[in-house]
Amino acid sequence: MEKETLLLPARDLTADAGSIALAGRILREGGIVAIPTETVYGLAGNALDPGATAKIYAAKGRPSDNPLIVHIQAMEEWAPLVRELPKEAEALAAAFWPGPLTIILPKSALVPDTTSGGLDTVAVRMPADPIARGVIRAAGVPLAAPSANRSGSPSPTTWRHCADDLMGRVDAILQSRDCGVGVESTVLSLCQRGEDGRPVPRLLRPGAVTPDQLREALGTDIVVDRGVLEHLGEGERALSPGMKYRHYAPAAEVTLVKGTTEQYRGYLEKTARPGDWAMCFTEDLPVPGMPACPYGGAADHREQARRLFQLLRELDGRGAERIFVHAPRQDNVGLAVYNRLLRAAAFRVVEPQP
Ligand code: TXA
Ligand code: MG
């Protein structure tokens, strides 16, 4: 599917207005464009045009039963996409939009089945990145945008990652800043109803908006879906289809190592062989037996999230055969980091004994 891919500078809404207008025109005419967001880069196409979403699936090599998130830039663009807007949804949008939260509701007839992966529901998010918002505005239509990586590889957090994966497969790539959040948005479903008739909020994918923040904004508890931390067995139905695929994986074999700095170091010392790399906390340095790349302080989950995918790609580039990652604590944004690492590691986790 070799095609010409335009590289369009887009760091500033005013200075790069020409790029943004051109991206808008390409999108309106049914093309696909890699765009920055605050979480990861997205591969955008007109969410209401099955022809455009078919191009997204093809360029990514993504299974077509894996639904796409629809991106909007103004509140009034939401209602036409869904059957109704419960007050819980409005409260969440008021608290976290624009920002890294995706909300799933029953879809309206306007949303094609190709966008929702055949589901009766639609995931919607309003990104905070000003370039993303400018492109949605310029396109004049809601934009379906999965992460702009080839299916299965780590999500892109720089425009160069998009070019590495998608050059020759998409119409344009916006050359904007590196993503500040670094992991994909929090995905929350409001589709299930409780006995009182109100939606039961269910976390399908953790992200920078944390479970505690969601509970506080809703004034109720939320359910954390089993798929967030467990491997769903073959044939088990994933509520979020994206959770069932091997995901975020570099070419190297990734292992998550739990425990203290001493336990982590002790494990590396016993295990090390040539081709190994450690992806550790700053506090773990120096580690024995292998080269190491720190991905943040043990308590700095936001820094870990920001660097995670970039480091996995970098270590692949350096020819790492095995990567041993010191596992983060599973609270706050650490839950999102752990969730992505678990998938990169294909659920390979070791817990060294003290
Ligand atoms: O931060 C993000 O969300 C990025 C940026 C580009 O906005 N996008 C992103 O899209 O991560 P993607 O396609 O890589 O991940 C979307 C996730 C998948 O796990 C998908 O299965 C799930 O959301 N999803 C989308 N629509 C859904 C629906 N109607 N019901 C359940 N899960 C849904
Ligand atoms: Mg993705």
Please report which ligand is nearest the Cα atom of 42: 1
Cβ–Cβ < 8 Å for 293, 277:
yes
Q: Can the peptide bond before residue 291 be classed as cis, meaning omega within 30 degrees of 0? A: no
Of ligand 1's listed atoms, the one at least distance from the Cα of 122 is: 29
Name the nearest CA neighbour of 306 among 100, 44, 124, 131: 100
The CA distance from 265 to 285, in Å, is 9
What is the CA(21)–ligand 1 centre distance, in A? 26
β-pair type (42-46, 33-35): antiparallel
* Ligand 1 pocket, residue 172 CB under 6 Å: no
Max alpha carbon distance in the chain (Å)? 60
Please report which ligand is nearest the Cα atom of 157: 1
Please report which ligand is nearest the Cα atom of 44: 1
* Ligand 1 pocket, residue 334 CB under 6 Å: no
Neighbours of 346 (CB within 10 A): 13
Return the pLDDT at 119: 96
The CA distance from 44 to 214, in Å, is 27
Q: Is the dihedral of CA 325, 100, 167, 6 positive or negative?
A: negative
The CA distance from 125 to 235, in Å, is 29
Angle at 165 between CA 186 and CA 46, to 5 degrees: 60
State how far the alpha carbon of 255 is from the alpha carbons of 43, 170, 346, in Å. 29, 33, 8
The closest residue, in CA terms, to atom 13 on ligand 1 is: 146
Sorted by sequence, the CB contacts under 8 Å of residue 285 that are 6+ apart come out as 292, 294
Return the pLDDT at 1: 61
Return the pLDDT at 151: 87
Return the pLDDT at 282: 98
Q: Ligand 1 pocket: which of 240, 245, 339, 343 to mutate (most atoms <8 Å of CB)? A: 240
Angle at 168 between CA 164 and CA 169, to 5 degrees: 90
The CA distance from 48 to 95, in Å, is 27
What is the CA(10)–ligand 1 centre distance, in A? 24
The CA distance from 312 to 353, in Å, is 27
Low-confidence ranges of the chain (pLDDT < 50): none
Identity (one letter) of the amino acid at 22?
A: L
What is the CA(140)–ligand 2 centre distance, in A? 24
The closest residue, in CA terms, to atom 10 on ligand 1 is: 146
* Ligand 1 pocket, residue 153 CB under 6 Å: no
- pLDDT, one tens digit per residue, over 83-115 is 999 999 999 999 999 999 999 999 999 999 999
Of ligand 1's listed atoms, the one at least distance from the Cα of 207 is: 1
* Ligand 1 pocket, residue 186 CB under 6 Å: no
Name the nearest CA neighbour of 87 among 211, 209, 199: 199
Judged by DSSP in three states, 135 sits in: helix
Could you tell me what percentage of the chain is helix, strand and coil, using 3-state DSSP and rounding each to the nearest 5? 30, 20, 50
Return the pLDDT at 64: 84
Element (H, E) at 161: helix 159-166
β-pair type (121-125, 69-71): parallel
What is the CA(45)–ligand 2 centre distance, in A? 15
Angle at 335 between CA 330 and CA 337, to 5 degrees: 110
Of ligand 1's listed atoms, the one at least distance from the Cα of 127 is: 7
The closest residue, in CA terms, to atom 21 on ligand 1 is: 242
What is the total residue count of the chain? Answer: 354
Please report which ligand is nearest the Cα atom of 37: 1
The closest residue, in CA terms, to atom 20 on ligand 1 is: 242
Please report which ligand is nearest the Cα atom of 153: 2
Q: How far apart are the first and last CA of the chain?
A: 53
Cβ–Cβ < 8 Å for 129, 38:
yes
Sorted by sequence, the CB contacts under 8 Å of residue 16 that are 6+ apart come out as 8, 9, 10, 131
The closest residue, in CA terms, to atom 33 on ligand 1 is: 240
